[in-house]
Amino acid sequence: MSAVSEDNLFVEREETQKLVAILTNTESSDDNEKDAALVRLRQIFDNYLECPTLLRYDVRNIVTDLLEVARKTIGKTGDESIIPFHHCSHALSAIYALSKVRGRKDIQRLLSHEVEDLEPVLRALQQLQREDNNNLQHFSGDSDQRPQRWESLYVLWNWVETLSLVPFHCSALFADSNSVVSSLIDLGKAQLSQTGPTREAAASSLAAWVSRPDLESTQIPEFVQWSRRILLEQCNHQTLRHSDAFLLLGVIQTLVRIIKVCSSSRDKVMDYMSALWPVFLRLEHLNVCDNNLLLRKFMVKWWARMGCIYLPPNITQWRYQRGRRSLADNLAMKGPSQATDTPSVQETGDSTESLTRHGPQHTDDELDLLWHVPDEVEDAMGFIQHKLRDPATMVRWAAAKGVGRLTARLPSICADDVLDAILEMFVDQEADQAWHGACLALAELARRGLLLPHRLSQLVPMIVRAIQYDVVRGQSSVGAHVRDAACYTYWSFARAYEPTILKPYVSTLSESIILTCLFDREVNCRRAASAAFQECVGRQGADSFKHGISILTVADYFSLGNRKDAYTKIALHVAQFPEYRTNIVKHVYRVKLHHWDPNIRQLASESLHGLIFLDPKYVIDYALPYLLKASLDPKDIPMRHGAILGLAESILALGKQVAAIQDSVPDNLLNEIRDIVTAIEKNRLYRGRGGEIVRAAVCRLICCICAAKIPLVARQQVRLLDSIDACLPHPNETIQEKACEALRELTLNYFPVGPNGPSDRLQKRVVDRYLHTAKTCENPASTRGFALALGYLPAKLLAPSPLVLDSVITVLRKVARHNATVGGERDAATRRNALIALKRVCQTVGLEGNLRSSGGGCVGLDCKLVDAVFETFLKGLVDYNMDRRGDVGSWCRIEAMNGLEAMAYLAVEQGSQESVPQLFSHDLAKKTVSGMLKQFCEKLDSVRVEAGGCLERILTKEDPRVPSIPEHEFLQRCFGLEQHEGDAEESKQVVGTTNWADASVTFPMVAKASKVDEYFAAILSGMVISVGGLTESISKESSAALLQLAKEARGTPRITTLGNVLLDLFHTHSRDGRVTLPLLKTIETLLSHQCLDELLKDVEECGFKKSLLRHISNEAKNCRDIHRHFACIDVALGLVGPPSDGVVEDALAFVCAQLVHSFPRVRRYAAEQLYVCLLEHPEYWVGSGDDESSMEDLLLEFAWDDSNRKATHCREMAQKVSNAIGVPLVLPDQPSLKDATNKKQPRQRDDFASYAALVGAVKQS
């Protein structure tokens, strides 16, 4: 087995080397090739943004090769020569793309720092600056895919910063050092106002140069004075202008960088920067930077760096040091004397026990040092701590680091004051930003050893509160970032302290972090908690964190990404360990069941269901009484809803665990459980906001009570049935589904029936009532609920006799018809629920004579009922009803396909060898598969997905195999479902993996299946809807499949079948815009690709052309759909062409008639398309060439879409056009074209109504 390392995970290494070779080829002048190579390099590098370490073995070679091109290009020019940047711009852009992935500092270390490169790079910067000032365009054009000037500037400025490390005095580097340095600094100042990455690179480079030992004494003061002037200008403005924000940001960035990299003594830097202190104070007081996030961040950095300057850079002796952090160093130690190179806690004179109880013992020197802390440090710390509450995360993060830097130089007494100020932020009155900033600050202090062990007793409770921080605001909550930061604090504690220090707090910390790891709503918090727990187990040892390794093997980064698995699987694994079990169960039923998110409450109830099997006694003793009380909470809806769900799942789990639940649950609790539903309704807890989710939860509670088989008297059974019946007519579908599930468990486990079936009272109370409501009620919500409920009744109520079963099937078939109405209107949800119920009824009662129906005195479906059910489902496939929600008939078609699949299985599995051909005949199998294939071609993804799944299951079912399907094996090959010998297991794995919603996958499959004659018509009729649809991706793929299908049909009898199918669709769906509009578009597509030429050139009969034109004319009559008119015009003109016959003339006459249509847009469209058609077929002009030219001008220039133009004028122009092509003008049946229209006629204007008109007329005479 070959080892896998980071070295061979850069899979594009060879391709990258070839691309770099293209960019470094200076002899090639093909910029297009270099542009393409640069684009590909950027793509390759961007793929490694999340894991840049995979490039570390190749980055040096890449940068060296690219930089060499830049060195040659820049270095070979003279002082006055213009640098040909087009030779190296691609290489510099590639270096920038790599620095974006690997980081600026990593690339800087690889840039050349030779002395001879300094002056050429400066000349290059000067030239680019001049080009910027002249507003020249990019090196190779305006495209973002080509090298940009700012990318070259960015790399050059980083190169200049690297060259600042040259260890020679500037006077030895330049002939005129002052002039060169001044030019460099001026260039840098100009870049500080840029908006892009060049500002950051220029600021860093500028700071590096002015901080050189040979320049700092002169350049830092000059730069400080210039910066002071810029800052004072902003203070005078008081409001920050957008144009000045970036300059101010660049100045502050440079100042912060100077303080960081300057190698002078602390006193010198203080002298340099002291003049800026009052200016920054003024900026803070005037709130100049408050509206700019980056400015606030670098202001925090400024205060932190300046505060450190005022303090001695000594390492404080009071800080806690754990010792060596390197495992290799720890293993190399040979004795106690080599424990650490730095003084540990014991070496400073303070024992671990003393630190834990009393804190550090202060020496006289340290106490004296407290009074020498300057006031400026207090001001700086105050500003930084204030920024811990900043709205921006990056500002709070910078403030936390600043707190750590300053505290590391303070005396221990002052550090205690800082810690007290941070702890004061852990109060409910503070916003979530303050909690987040405080957690980050504590983590930074702990990481630096500045949190002493004796303060842990105060800190740990705060961290536990932060790990659980979740504040509801409106419909959501805030606190995820606080919990994430608290996990980071926890992680830093594990690294900072020895196991003996944290041991008293391990129990508290481990409980809180485990609960967050398992049950937090946000995935990043769960993963952060897992990482913190992993650090604790590794650093503190398995003795402190029991079963840590076993937990981490299950609760890892990837497994915790699935929230449902975290609640229902991983939590159960962790709860196996007694140390965590009680806290997990308690947290679930006391916290998570009351969460603001209903989905979390649902998951918590499912988790509680599994946890009960681990500790049922605890749940019975503590959880059940608490949940029963919380279920009646009158105010807190989340608590009430979660408690009902938790109670339901607890009862169900207890019912599964023991033979009789009454043997384990006390009688008083059982009595409360029996009456809890009545108590909820008596207290009217369904009312108000949130009542719907409570009602659904109560239905689930009834379902679980019945499934657990809690003993109920008849009166209690009837009460529960009344509660269910009250939920069935609810408009909310979720409530109806939950009520039906509860009805199934209630009627299955209670309401016993005798040998002669149910009593008349029970029959009337349930079945007869549901049938009557579903059949006659005019409330759609009621018909939906009671129709669906029929499918959830047990066989003892549905089929006690053939008469009852026949009445149930009849009512459901009637309600499921696509033209059925409820209250005078069609209701798709009622039809869908009826189809669902019909399928469930058939599955429940089974076929006549099978074991399912023969037991208990129930009857089954006979052949007559089976045929009737199949007929209903097949008719459900043609339900294309639409309303304002769109194609609601698709709901019924989906359920009809599921019903057909279920009935096919039922006939095959329960029918005898003799009855199967009768129950599922060859003709029925053909209709079933054809109907599914038709739905498989349609435009809705949800329909195609369901059709594909049904076909896949039917075609691959083997035990038993579904018989009588025409070309069964061929269909399997079309859909990629064929099974070969010896790979049955592999075939099973393939089933269910195809993405049927992907049009590029499904339509090529169905094009292959169309080769079967039995399915051709169905596939074509379904494909027509997709080809003419509005969705571009569906239309594109379906059109390609249809054209392939039509081209393969050329020269065969199937082309005639194709034409007949298209005409049959017109006949079946006459004037139905849902079908005819896409049908017209489909025909236009076929005509434009010459797929129907054989039908059009049939001179003997011209039957297809005549019929098609007749249907087009019929569709255009009195049609109010403009797009359908457009499609009719397109198809009619598609019929124009050789051979010329009467149909062609009729088609031209039809189009000419559209020139006088009442809709202006139709007239204009007809004129435009007629003009294009006559350009292609000039032989249809009957006049001379001049007449032809004038008619073409008339079609184009006449204002056909002028709504104010008289109808007679349009008729005159249309008559001229029709005369020019030799066809009669047949006016369409449009009453609005007549002069006597219903519109109000405008008042005729008198041409001589004004004096000016009269004068003009006199002059003309």
pLDDT in tens, 233-272: 888 776 777 778 899 999 999 999 999 998 888 888 888 8
Distance CA 321, CA 448 (A): 8
**Residue 1242: pLDDT band with limits 50, 70, 90:** very low
Q: What is the pLDDT of residue 1250?
A: 45
pLDDT higher for 332 or 472?
A: 472
* Nearest residue to 680 via CA among 704, 705, 699, 707: 699
SS3 content of the chain, % helix, strand, coil (to 5): 70, 0, 30
**Token pair in block for residue 696:** 């659904």
Distance CA 39, CA 90 (A): 10
Residues forming a β-bridge with 476: 473
Q: What is the pLDDT of residue 323?
A: 57
**Residue 332: pLDDT band with limits 50, 70, 90:** low
Mean pLDDT within 760-771 = 93
Q: Report the range of poorest mean pLDDT among 49-63, 486-500, 985-999.
A: 985-999
* Nearest residue to 507 via CA among 468, 540, 469: 540
Domain boundaries, the chain: 1-163, 576-750, 1120-1237
Query: For the chain, what percent of residues have pLDDT higher than 90?
Result: 55
The 10s digit of each residue's pLDDT in 1167-1223 is: 999 988 988 888 887 765 566 677 788 888 888 888 776 667 888 888 888 888 888
C-alpha pair distances (Å), 584 with each of 75, 519, 572, 622:
69, 9, 9, 13
The 10s digit of each residue's pLDDT in 1109-1134 is: 999 999 998 898 999 999 999 999 99
Place of tokens 């009744």: 793
The 10s digit of each residue's pLDDT in 135-188 is: 654 444 445 678 888 999 999 999 999 988 888 777 776 666 677 888 889 999
**Residue 934: pLDDT band with limits 50, 70, 90:** very high
* Nearest residue to 1149 via CA among 1215, 1061, 1100: 1215
Q: What is the pLDDT of residue 605?
A: 96
Q: What is the 3-state secondary structure of 784-834?
A: HHHHHHHCCCCHHHHCCCHHHHHHHHHHHHHHHCCCCCECCECCHHHHHHH
**Token pair in block for residue 1161:** 């847009």
Mean pLDDT within 1131-1156 = 86
Distance CA 127, CA 89 (A): 13
Q: What is the pLDDT of residue 1244?
A: 44
C-alpha pair distances (Å), 883 with each of 275, 350, 717, 921:
74, 81, 41, 36
Q: What is the pLDDT of residue 168?
A: 76
**Residue 1038: pLDDT band with limits 50, 70, 90:** very high
Q: What is the pTM of this model?
A: 0.83
Q: What is the pLDDT of residue 551?
A: 93
Distance CA 70, CA 154 (A): 13
Q: How many residues does the chain have?
A: 1261
The 10s digit of each residue's pLDDT in 415-424 is: 999 999 999 9
State how beta strands 476-478 and 471-473 pair: antiparallel
Q: What is the pLDDT of residue 458?
A: 93
The 10s digit of each residue's pLDDT in 346-399 is: 434 444 444 444 455 555 454 444 557 888 999 999 999 999 999 999 999 999
pLDDT at 42 over 70: yes
Three-state DSSP state, 615: coil
Q: Within 10 A of 1257 (CB to CB), how many other CB atoms are there?
A: 11
Phi first, then psi: give them for residue 476, nearest 5 degrees: -140, -160
Three-state DSSP state, 961: strand
pLDDT higher for 1208 or 345?
A: 1208
Distance CA 550, CA 20 (A): 48
Phi first, then psi: give them for residue 472, nearest 5 degrees: -75, 130
Distance CA 1182, CA 1184 (A): 7
**Distance between start and end Cα atoms, the chain:** 109
Three-state DSSP state, 861: strand
Contact between 559 and 570 under an 8 Å Cβ cutoff? The reply is yes
Most confident of 104-113, 318-327, 393-402: 393-402
Q: Report the range of poorest mean pLDDT among 90-99, 664-673, 706-715, 982-991.
A: 982-991
Distance CA 852, CA 798 (A): 13
The 10s digit of each residue's pLDDT in 1224-1236 is: 887 765 444 443 3
pLDDT higher for 31 or 463?
A: 463
Q: Classify residue 690 as left (phi > 0), alpha (psi -120 to 50) or beta.
A: left
Q: What is the pLDDT of residue 352?
A: 46
pLDDT higher for 1 or 671?
A: 671
Mean pLDDT within 1059-1071 = 90
Q: What is the pLDDT of residue 138?
A: 45
Residue 229's Cβ-count burial label (10 Å; 0-12, 13-18, 19+) is exposed
**Token pair in block for residue 215:** 């320049």
pLDDT at 733 over 60: yes
Q: What is the pLDDT of residue 1179?
A: 82
DSSP 471: E
Query: For the chain, what percent of residues have pLDDT higher than 70?
Result: 87
Distance CA 1093, CA 653 (A): 70
Q: What is the pLDDT of residue 20?
A: 92
Q: What is the pLDDT of residue 1123?
A: 92
pLDDT at 1258 over 50: no
- Amino acid type, 509: L
The 10s digit of each residue's pLDDT in 578-601 is: 999 999 999 999 999 999 999 999
Distance CA 934, CA 937 (A): 5
Helix or strand run (H / E) with residue 933 = helix 922-936
pLDDT at 80 over 50: yes
* Nearest residue to 490 via CA among 517, 509, 518, 514: 509
DSSP calls for 750-768 = SS--BTTBS-HHHHIIIII
Average pLDDT, the chain: 86
Q: Give the distance, in angstroms, between the CA of residue 411 and the centroid of all CA atoms in the same chain.
A: 51
**Residue 825: pLDDT band with limits 50, 70, 90:** very high
